[in-house]
């Protein structure tokens, strides 16, 4: 699947695709059992790229990256010259592409890159719309414009390599891995060393892999931000509750933000459930595995589509049909101590899990909680926005290394908007529905432009 994406989406040259295909050692430090023992350490592309991403996008790296993105986002909102009076915009998605997506790209590659390539972010989203075409494996003569766009994006990335490499200062100031004057972030600079050492990997191959990283950084994060804003601001009662949570926070830049608002976590999870249809890749390492009435042979691959799992009426709580799984419900992932019907699981599943609980003490500790809380307990195999987790013996399920960062970015940017601005959707009586042509490839986006108006809030708590 990795080779599939690199070859069809990012147009990696044959030598790079061959290097990717040869590496069957896996993404963990210890090579996978039965993998090719002749693969040199420098050619373990999966492990090298995965470990570098985990190092940069987990722990303290998440907090620092999020702070830089929030700073850039606030600067762009200031430059938009929004006032205490309403300003109308025709397209919420386009607005957030400029404010949020461009900021995320800038944090990765640095402001000099975007100054030299001012249309890169716009082209990146045009490329995103081309992905369903590429996924069909259509030859380039049928999609010449899309192919030229990919080449143009990679050429801009390669030109950046040359300029950054010639910089006199190759070190991050004050040890900040997200403020490298040449490369933008230490992550991007370190990938140069990792990828250029791989046999068969040339400049075009590195650019294809980096294009994949930049696209992956925004392709699902941005639509999740857009849907979160839509669902928060379309319901005044939800907005009031979220705003109260935000105003009670010590700081929306705090690393503990995801734990500060269970409701916002629930909204985030519900957006991923309702608008996400990603494929999760699973395989078995040592022996065959039973998947229901099917057998998954050792070493073979299977795909699980989250969209089907997310719409399984036998699993999800709808409160007896009051909140159907086809509609957004902000509290679907919330558990309220005094409400036995709350939580993401329906009554039948909850009863079964209680009957078969393996650890009654843990159950008692959970039920003793006196505050409302966010919960994904019991959703293994049913909620798979990032690859998730399936508790089947022998199963390996590949999980997105940037999932913690994505959650932080969505919650932080939405918190900033809720705290600092009033926003009203201006779609009239037209319902906002999702466009499903990219099924399985990324988060759905609104089918039509979502007009809105926005203004600064007069009274804002300073954090």
With H, G, I as helix, E, B as strand and everything else as coil, classify residue 434: strand
Q: Is residue 399 part of a domain?
A: no
More confident residue, 303 or 164: 164
Mean predicted confidence (pLDDT) in 93-104: 97
Extract the tokens encoding 256.
């503990």
Extract the tokens encoding 196.
């250029």
More confident residue, 193 or 358: 193
Q: Looking at residue 27, what DSSP letter applies? A: S
242 pLDDT more than 60: yes
Number of structural domains, the chain?
Answer: 1
Mean predicted confidence (pLDDT) in 290-318: 86
How confident is the model at residue 393, as a pLDDT? Answer: 44
The verdict on whether residue 400 carries a ligand-binding annotation is: yes
User: Which whole-number Å values give the CA distances from 209 to 196, 212, 366, 443, in the listed order?
Assistant: 11, 5, 44, 21
How confident is the model at residue 304, as a pLDDT? Answer: 79
pLDDT digits (tens, 9 = 90+) for 157-216: 999 999 998 875 555 555 566 777 788 888 999 999 999 999 999 999 999 999 999 999
Whole-angstrom Cα distance, residue 185 to residue 180? 5
Bridge-based pairing of strands 434-435 and 395-397 is: unpaired
What is the C-alpha R_g of the chain? 23
How confident is the model at residue 166, as a pLDDT? Answer: 85
352 pLDDT more than 80: no
Mean predicted confidence (pLDDT) in 446-463: 83
How confident is the model at residue 94, as a pLDDT? Answer: 97
Other beta carbons less than 10 A from residue 214's beta carbon: 21
Give the least confident one: 130-134, 135-139, 224-228, 283-287. 283-287
Report the candidate in 178, 280, 273, 272 with the shortest Cα–Cα distance to residue 225.
272
Q: Is residue 390 part of a domain?
A: no
With H, G, I as helix, E, B as strand and everything else as coil, classify residue 373: strand
Q: Is residue 204 part of a domain?
A: yes
Q: Is residue 111 part of a domain?
A: yes
Mean predicted confidence (pLDDT) in 340-365: 65
Q: What's the longest Cα–Cα distance across the chain?
A: 66
Residue 11's CATH number: 1.10.630.10
How confident is the model at residue 1, as a pLDDT? Answer: 78
β-bridge partners, 304: 280
pTM above 0.85, yes or no: yes
Give the least confident one: 57-61, 252-256, 339-343, 450-454. 252-256
Whole-angstrom Cα distance, residue 40 to residue 36? 10
How confident is the model at residue 399, as a pLDDT? Answer: 63
How confident is the model at residue 254, as a pLDDT? Answer: 56
Q: Is residue 174 part of a domain?
A: yes
Q: Is residue 163 part of a domain?
A: yes
Average confidence score pLDDT of the chain:
86
101 pLDDT more than 90: yes
Report the candidate in 2, 1, 7, 21 with the shortest Cα–Cα distance to residue 147.
7
pLDDT digits (tens, 9 = 90+) for 45-89: 989 998 888 888 777 788 889 999 999 999 999 999 999 999 999
More confident residue, 440 or 7: 7
Report the candidate in 293, 348, 289, 339 with the shortest Cα–Cα distance to residue 317.
348
Q: Is residue 131 part of a domain?
A: yes
Mean predicted confidence (pLDDT) in 83-106: 96
How confident is the model at residue 282, as a pLDDT? Answer: 76
Q: Is residue 202 part of a domain?
A: yes
Query: pLDDT band at 361, cuts 50/70/90?
Result: very low
357 pLDDT more than 60: no
More confident residue, 386 or 355: 386
Tell me the Ramachandran region of residue 23: left when phi exceeds 0, alpha when psi lies from -120 to 50, beta otherwise. Answer: beta
Query: pLDDT band at 388, cuts 50/70/90?
Result: very low
Domain that holds residue 119: 2-219
Query: pLDDT band at 363, cuts 50/70/90?
Result: very low
Whole-angstrom Cα distance, residue 374 to residue 336? 9
258 pLDDT more than 90: no
| CB-count exposure of residue 451 (10 Å: 0-12, 13-18, 19+) | middle
Give the least confident one: 52-56, 330-334, 435-439. 435-439
Mean predicted confidence (pLDDT) in 448-458: 94
More confident residue, 445 or 461: 445
Which segments of 256-402 are extended strands (E)?
279-284, 289-291, 294-296, 301-305, 334-335, 373-374, 395-397
Phi, psi of 320 (to 5 degrees): 60, 40
Query: pLDDT band at 448, cuts 50/70/90?
Result: very high
How confident is the model at residue 354, as a pLDDT? Answer: 59
With H, G, I as helix, E, B as strand and everything else as coil, classify residue 97: helix
278 pLDDT more than 90: no
């Amino acid at each position: 699947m990795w080779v599939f994406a690199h070859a069809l989406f990012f147009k990696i040259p044959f030598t790079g695709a061959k290097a990717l295909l040869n590496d069957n050692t896996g993404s963990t430090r210890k090579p996978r059992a039965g993998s090719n023992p002749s693969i040199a350490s420098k050619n373990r592309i999966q492990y090298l790229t995965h470990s570098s991403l985990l190092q940069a996008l987990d722990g303290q790296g998440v907090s620092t990256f999020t702070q830089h993105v929030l700073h850039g986002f606030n600067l762009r909102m200031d430059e938009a010259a929004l006032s205490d009076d309403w300003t109308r915009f025709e397209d919420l998605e386009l607005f957030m592409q400029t404010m949020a997506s461009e900021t995320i790209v800038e944090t990765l590659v640095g402001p000099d890159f975007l100054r030299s390539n001012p249309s890169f972010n716009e082209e990146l989203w045009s490329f995103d719309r081309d992905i369903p075409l590429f996924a069909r494996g259509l030859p380039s003569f049928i999609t010449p414009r899309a192919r030229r766009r990919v080449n143009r994006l990679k050429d801009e990335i390669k030109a950046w390599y040359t300029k950054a490499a010639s910089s006199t200062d190759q070190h991050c100031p004050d040890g900040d891995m997200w403020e490298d004057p040449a490369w933008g972030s230490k992550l991007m600079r370190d990938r140069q060393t990792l990828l250029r050492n791989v046999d068969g990997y040339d400049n075009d191959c590195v650019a294809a892999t980096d294009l994949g990283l930049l696209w992956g950084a925004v392709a699902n994060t941005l639509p999740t931000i857009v849907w979160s804003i839509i669902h928060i601001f379309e319901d005044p009662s939800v907005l009031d509750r979220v705003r109260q949570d935000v105003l009670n926070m010590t700081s929306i830049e705090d690393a503990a933000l995801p734990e500060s608002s269970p409701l916002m976590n629930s909204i985030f999870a519900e957006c991923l459930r309702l608008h996400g249809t990603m494929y999760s890749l699973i395989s078995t390492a040592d022996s065959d595995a039973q998947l229901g009435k099917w057998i998954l042979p050792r070493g073979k691959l299977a795909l699980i589509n989250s969209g089907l799992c997310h719409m399984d009426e036998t699993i999800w709580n709808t409160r007896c049909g009051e909140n159907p799984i086809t509609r957004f419900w902000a509290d679907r992932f919330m558990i309220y101590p005094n409400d036995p019907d709350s939580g993401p699981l329906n009554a039948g599943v909850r009863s079964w899990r209680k009957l078969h609980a393996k650890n009654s003490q843990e159950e008692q500790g959970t039920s003793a909680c006196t505050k409302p809380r966010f919960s994904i307990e019991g959703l293994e195999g049913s909620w798979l926005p990032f690859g998730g987790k399936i508790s089947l013996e022998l199963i390996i399920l590949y999980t997105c290394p940037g999932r913690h960062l994505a959650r932080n970015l969505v919650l932080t940017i939405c918190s900033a908007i809720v705290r600092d601005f009033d926003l009203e959707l201006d779609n009239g009586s037209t319902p906002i529905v999702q466009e499903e042509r990219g099924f399985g490839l990324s988060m759905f986006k609104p089918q039509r432009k979502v007009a809105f108006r926005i203004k600064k809030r007069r009274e804002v708590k300073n954090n």
